[in-house]
Amino acid sequence: MRGVGGRRAAVLAAVFAGSFVALLNMSVATVALPRMAADLGTDAAGLRWVLDAYTLCLSALMLSGGVLGDRYGRRRVFVGAVGAFTLGSVLCAAASSPAALVGGRVVQGAAAAVIVPGSMSLLAQAYPDAAARARVIGWWSVTASVSVGAGPLLGGLLVDASGGWPAVFWVVVPVGVAVVALGAWALPESSDPSHAALDLPGQVLGVAWLGALSYGLVEGGHRGWSSAGVVAALAVAAVALAAFVAVELRAERPMLPIRLLGRAPFAAANAGALLLGLGAYGMFFYLSPYLQHVRGYSATGAGLRMVPMAVGMSLLGALAGRLTARFGPYGPMGGAFGLMAAALLGMGALLDADVPYGVVAVLLLALGAGIGVVLPPLNASALAAVPRERSGAAAATVNAVRQTGTSLGIAVLGAVLAARSGGAESGDAFVTGLRTIAVVAGAISLAGAAVVLLARRAIARRSPASPLSSPPPLPPAHPARPARPAQSARRRSGG
């Protein structure tokens, strides 16, 4: 039993550490941009794609990344992705030009698109009991939340301590090597190739619509929403999405069975993920500029003053996992959206250049607590709504939706901020815009609470069973066609 417990602990360490470094890199480089610009002979605008390339690849490739582990082996694909991420970190740290740095970030982002859904799929396989899975996903969600929130603080400390920006990438390398070694030894191998088709048309269209949408949202905030490139990208995204839905509905073994969204728990989880990204996550990226440009803190000082948010995420995330295991996901999710709404509306009423930092800290703590509470039930309900053999696709979907919502939230809130502030980056005009987008984000969070309440009522009317009980198998896309013996053989053999 002691050996089994040690192996289980090693599984958690590998999965959590891999997820941490992948999500940390969404924000860890933000405070290093001025040093990068000085060393590489460019300006901050020239390094915009150091951040955007990572986000774009993460959003565009998430759906495809989730299917790879289900088909080719969850351990094999996860360990390989962590290795690729580590290589990308080396490329970034050793870069001598902006183009080389962006190339390394592309490698990192593509690998992260496999790591994030792969980690949740591995947990779904390691914890077949729904209640135990909800608890461990609570801890995973703590890791995910803290990694994003801690990025600016850790990045500032690394840059200041080392005197150079490569430190924010070198720090990943020993962690990545350790995760590869630990994962190769401890992670159990599993695959379900008969439930995870290559579905090349779906793969291409999925990358096309997510990539075009992400590109359009990223560039819209810089070039303007009426520029030809932005309009073209958003048009391509709309057409590719329509084609993706049509192809997936007709495919014999689709990458993402659209029928999953006909299940109220899965649909509610994805709606919640979208609204979380639009509201709280979108607002998060404008809090650091407030602390630096309005309050006058340094990059490290601003990161330190974001700590209450990380504390709220970490303290409440694990508790939310236990609450979800005991009471189901919808009570914690609804309460979390309500708490986020209260914090964001409080920011809309109170934030300015002179409000005591203690007030800011309380609001950040409440916002972090709401995010920490909402993630475990959101992820657990998405995984519980589908058979375990589709766990990679389910995890990829809910995370891709949240990431797309975040990109959309950053773009929409940024546009509102620019309109209300007149483009000012500090002073009273910026505060006016910031308070406006806080109110908008709070209203979005209230909409999230309403969606959760409606979903809870709909699911209760449909079935009294626990929302974390095992779901029925998915209906085949073409019921008249018999199962293929070769597919069943591949599944029994593990690939």
pLDDT in tens, 403-416: 888 878 887 888 78
Close Cβ partners of 31 (under 8 Å, ≥ 6 residues apart): 152, 155, 156, 159, 299, 300, 303
Write out the residue range of the structural domain in which residue 369 sits. Answer: 2-196+255-471
Lowest mean pLDDT among 64-78, 234-248, 249-263, 298-312: 249-263
pLDDT at 40 over 60: yes
Nearest C-alpha neighbor of 106 from the set 58, 66, 62: 58
Domain count across the chain: 2
- Domain assignment present for residue 482? The answer is no
Give me the mean pLDDT over the 158-167 stretch: 84
Nearest C-alpha neighbor of 125 from the set 84, 69, 196: 69
228 and 323 share a domain? no
134 and 49 share a domain? yes
Angle at 210 between CA 445 and CA 382, to 5 degrees: 50
Mean pLDDT over each residue of the chain, to the nearest integer: 82
Which pLDDT value is given to residue 23? 87
pLDDT in tens, 271-290: 999 999 999 988 988 888 88
Lowest mean pLDDT among 133-137, 219-223, 450-454: 219-223
Residue 357's identity, in one-letter code, is Y
Percent with pLDDT over 70 in the chain: 88
- Domain assignment present for residue 487? The answer is no
- Domain assignment present for residue 479? The answer is no
What's the gap between Cα 40 and its chain centre? 30
The enclosing domain of 460 has a CATH number of: 1.20.1250.20
Residue labelled with tokens 């995870």: 196
Lowest mean pLDDT among 115-124, 221-230, 346-355, 382-391: 382-391
- Domain assignment present for residue 134? The answer is yes
Rounded Cα distance, 414 and 277, in Å: 14
240 and 155 share a domain? no
321 and 382 share a domain? yes
- Domain assignment present for residue 489? The answer is no
- Domain assignment present for residue 92? The answer is yes
33 and 99 share a domain? yes
Nearest C-alpha neighbor of 333 from the set 261, 409, 276: 276
pLDDT in tens, 55-82: 778 877 887 777 788 888 889 999 999 9
175 and 285 share a domain? yes
pLDDT band at 197 (very low <50, low <70, confident <90, very high): low
pLDDT in tens, 470-485: 455 554 444 444 444 4
348 and 391 share a domain? yes
Give me the mean pLDDT over the 115-132 stretch: 84
Close Cβ partners of 438 (under 8 Å, ≥ 6 residues apart): 283, 344, 345, 347, 348, 351
Give me the mean pLDDT over the 432-441 stretch: 95
Residue 330's identity, in one-letter code, is Y
Close Cβ partners of 426 (under 8 Å, ≥ 6 residues apart): 293, 294
31 and 53 share a domain? yes
Which pLDDT value is given to residue 344? 97
361 and 457 share a domain? yes
102 and 145 share a domain? yes
Residue 8 burial class via C-beta count within 10 angstroms: exposed 0-12, middle 13-18, buried 19 and up: middle
337 and 433 share a domain? yes
- Which of 209, 227, 254 terminates a domain? The answer is 254
**From residue 47, how far is each of 31, 101, 113, 172 by CA, in Å?**
12, 9, 22, 21
Q: Higher pLDDT residue, 449 or 191?
A: 449
pLDDT band at 492 (very low <50, low <70, confident <90, very high): very low
Rounded Cα distance, 68 and 256, in Å: 12
- Domain assignment present for residue 465? The answer is yes
Rounded Cα distance, 24 and 437, in Å: 25
Which pLDDT value is given to residue 94? 94
151 and 291 share a domain? yes
266 contacts 260 by C-beta, under 8 angstroms: yes
pLDDT at 221 over 90: no
Q: Higher pLDDT residue, 30 or 290?
A: 290
- Domain assignment present for residue 32? The answer is yes
